[in-house]
Structure 1
Amino acid sequence: MMKSDDNGSIDVESSAESKGKEPLIGNGKEKPNKLKKIMGVVDFVLRLAAIIAALAAAATMGTSDETATFFTQVFRIEASYDDVPTFTFFVIAMAIVAGYLVLSLMFSVITIIRPNFAIARILLFIFDIVVLALAAASAAAAAAIVYLAHNGNRNTNWQAICQQFGHFCQKVSGAVVTSFVAVVLLMLLVLLSGFNFILKKK
């Protein structure tokens, strides 16, 4: 901003003084930041990887089923994921996580196109934390049941079943491992959002 005094001299004020400080939350109209765009692309890729991991975990657990025969095929015992409520919760939770991540891709694209549009980042940050808690809880609960299936518990007379249902245990174990991959990816997404807010403050 320019001012003139009585002597005809011109005083040029700095743009920072004339405009004041920039708001903490951007409106998406500021000059695009290259680093924020790169972070937006990384966010999108991580979400795609987390979708694949969550869907793989849900599908693997949801198709875990095995029938074992005893005493020359006279007795048949079936083991399925829906026999264990924890595994049923696992499948539902992983499906919810995958569904959320698919919907969040739209907001992730917005953060790439408009890097300073903080509202989208705040929404992603909040819901990512909620979904991370859900994924971690279901993965941990399922991991505990898988441990019992492999090792049993002598104190409570819970017998290990993986000797009779090896294929079933292999599938549920793979589903749990894959779910923890999704949990790690969600943690990276939350950390990435937090780092982006630090850049915004600076």
Structure 2
Amino acid sequence: MDIMVVGSVTEEKGSTGVQTVETLLRLFPMVLSVTALVIMLKDSQTTTDFGSISSLDLGGFKYLVYANGICAGYSLLSAFYTAVPRSSTMSRAWSLFFFDQILTYMILAAGTVSAEVVYLAYKGDEAVTWSEACVSFGGFCRKATTSVIITFAAVACYAGLSFISSYRLFSRFDPPVSYPSNKGVESAVFQG
């Protein structure tokens, strides 16, 4: 791999193309998260027989809205962070890896909880005498299902970003070096 020095920034040849692709890959989940968030926020339905329901009435859907909002904000910030050319440092690689992991699991948990709520809305739970709500609130259930599907598309994007950031971190930097201490316990020291 050829290395070139541009001003005070060291970068690999051809990395501007990779940097552009990664920036776009970081922006795409923002679009998905905002779309899922808007659909869920506008999801409400009123019937004459059973009253009204709103997505914000259910805790699982509230969590989905908050998680999508946080993920959209992170996607925008991380896209800006990767778009600005800088040298690759260990702390930068660890930061992206750490936050990519956290956001991946957060959006996965929100999608999973919401999928369970949607499932119960369609199928009900006879053991607790909870009948299916989608018979009466079909439009509400369709929008909630759409939002959950879009959220899982964002999960796939975040999983891809997690793989990219972990590959970048663990392929460019050496593992920590172990030094035995005087108490027989090894301690790891990172060297950059």
**TM-score normalised by structure 1 residue count:** 0.76
Q: How big is the shift at 1:201?
A: 4.2
Tell me how far apart the structure 1 counterparts of residues 169 and 15 of structure 2 sit (CA, whole Å). 10
Tell me how far apart the structure 2 counterparts of residues 77 and 172 of structure 1 sit (CA, whole Å). 18
Match of residue 119 from structure 1: 91
Worse-matched range after superposition: 178-187 or 117-126: 117-126
Q: How big is the shift at 1:29?
A: 4.9
Match of residue 24 from structure 1: none
- Higher RCO (C-alpha under 8 Å, 6+ residues apart): 1
Tell me how far apart the structure 2 counterparts of residues 167 and 115 of structure 1 sit (CA, whole Å). 50
Identity among equivalent positions (%) equals 27
RMSD over aligned Cα atoms: 2.0
Q: Verify the 8 A CA contact 2:36 2:150 in the aligned structure 1.
A: yes
SS at match of 1:161: coil
Tell me how far apart the structure 1 counterparts of residues 109 and 47 of structure 2 sit (CA, whole Å). 30
Structure 2: gaps (5+ residues): 1-6, 175-192
- Is the alpha carbon distance of 1:134 and 1:94 closer, same or farther for their aligned partners in structure 2, counting shifts above 3 Å? same
Match of residue 11 from structure 1: none
Q: Does 1:194 align with 2:173?
A: no
Match of residue 81 from structure 1: 55
Give 2:41's match in structure 1, choosing from 59, 62, 81.
62
Question: One-letter code of the match for 2:21?
Answer: V
Match of residue 103 from structure 1: 77
Match of residue 32 from structure 1: 11
Question: One-letter code of the match for 1:106?
Answer: F
Q: How big is the shift at 1:35?
A: 5.2
Match of residue 156 from structure 1: 128
Tell me how far apart the structure 2 counterparts of residues 30 and 56 of structure 1 sit (CA, whole Å). 36
Between the two proteins, the alignment pairs up a number of residues equal to 168
Give 1:179's match in structure 2, choosing from 151, 162, 167.
151
Give 2:113's match in structure 1, choosing from 141, 145, 151.
141
1:121-180 CA-partner distances (Å, limit 9, x unpaired): 321111111111111111110000000001111122111011111110000000000111
Tell me how far apart the structure 1 counterparts of residues 13 and 130 of structure 2 sit (CA, whole Å). 57
Question: One-letter code of the match for 2:11?
Answer: P
Match of residue 137 from structure 2: 165
Q: Verify the 8 A CA contact 1:61 1:172 in the aligned structure 2.
A: yes
Tell me how far apart the structure 1 counterparts of residues 83 and 92 of structure 2 sit (CA, whole Å). 10
Q: Verify the 8 A CA contact 1:150 1:162 in the aligned structure 2.
A: yes
1:34-85 CA-partner distances (Å, limit 9, x unpaired): 3544432222111111000111111111110111123xxxxx5101112111
Match of residue 23 from structure 1: none
State the structure with more CA Rg. Answer: 1
